[in-house]
Amino acid sequence: MKLFDLLLPMRCAVCGGGGAQLCASCRERLPRLEPPLCDRCGAPTAWPVARCRECSGRRLAFTSARAAVAYDDDVRRLVRAWKERGLRRLAPEAAAAVIGVVPRPCCGALAFVPPDRARNLERGHHPAERLARELGERWSLPVLSLVRRTRPVPRQRGLALAERRRNVVGAFAPATQVPPAVALVDDVYTSGATATAAASALRKGGARRVEVVTFARVVR
């Protein structure tokens, strides 16, 4: 834990109020993603569907994707505080939100999207792995490093979907023998490009079923 994390008075990452890194009323107001959802990509829909406008016709390497909350302005503030300002107490908050919304995946192990080495060193921690470890404890599932990066990936932020996909193709490889059913954990599902690239690495390594679990999801 960084020193400033211990010494500074705690302020809510969303509203700035004192006392906690996420205050009770902001926690209460998190925009939880409840059904009906697209069965495949987890996008909120008017009624349950097998594929939705966002994912139909796309080749997705994962069986399903589920997220706890919509990535709105408040959640963006929260995720930035967690990822970029290194407020680690937010990892258990994110895990609690996931547990409250996302059913426990049918899998033998949790994997996580591996950190980009340069960015990880810069920040000194890795939110996706922390979230996977918090979820592993609560769901009683082992957390394994099953995916590795083959090369650094340029920032995805601000890129169109086609560019995002190109950006991450072949960027991941299986790190070891992969169990048949795995859940892949990441902090935010944006376009599904990273999830699909990492899931296809897991499948190359032997997984037949990959469920993606994230804290937040961009809702279009």
Is 42 or 127 the residue whose CB approaches Zn ion more closely?
42
Contacting residue, 30, 33, 37, 41, with Zn ion by CB under 5 A: 41
Is 26 or 87 the residue whose CB approaches Zn ion more closely?
26
Min separation Cβ 55 and Zn ion, Å: 3
Min separation Cβ 210 and Zn ion, Å: 16
User: Is 14 among the residues that bind Zn ion (CB under 5 A)?
Assistant: yes
Instruction: Evaluate whether 181 touches 208 at the Cβ level (below 8 Å).
Output: yes
Q: Which two tokens stand for residue 134?
A: 């918090």
Is 12 or 33 the residue whose CB approaches Zn ion more closely?
12
Q: Site residues for Zn ion, window 43-102 (CB under 5 A)?
A: 43, 52, 54-55
Integer-rounded Cα radius of gyration of the chain: 17
Min separation Cβ 17 and Zn ion, Å: 5
Coil, helix or strand at residue 63: coil
Is 44 or 115 the residue whose CB approaches Zn ion more closely?
44
Contacting residue, 15, 106, 162, 169, with Zn ion by CB under 5 A: 15
Is 19 or 152 the residue whose CB approaches Zn ion more closely?
19
Residues near Zn ion (CB under 5 A), total: 13
* Alpha helices (H) in 116-192, listed in sequence order: 117-123, 127-139, 161-168
CA nearest neighbour of 15 among 7, 25, 5: 25
Min separation Cβ 197 and Zn ion, Å: 17
Q: What is the C-alpha to C-alpha distance for residues 144 and 86, in angstroms, rounded to an integer?
A: 23
Cβ neighbors of 35 (< 8 A, separation 6 or more) are 48
Is 37 or 182 the residue whose CB approaches Zn ion more closely?
37
CA 161 vs. chain centroid, Å, equals 18
Give the pairing of strands 172-174 and 147-149: antiparallel
Give the pairing of strands 181-189 and 209-217: parallel
Instruction: List interacting residues with Zn ion (CB under 5 A).
Output: 12, 14-15, 17, 23, 26, 38, 40-41, 43, 52, 54-55
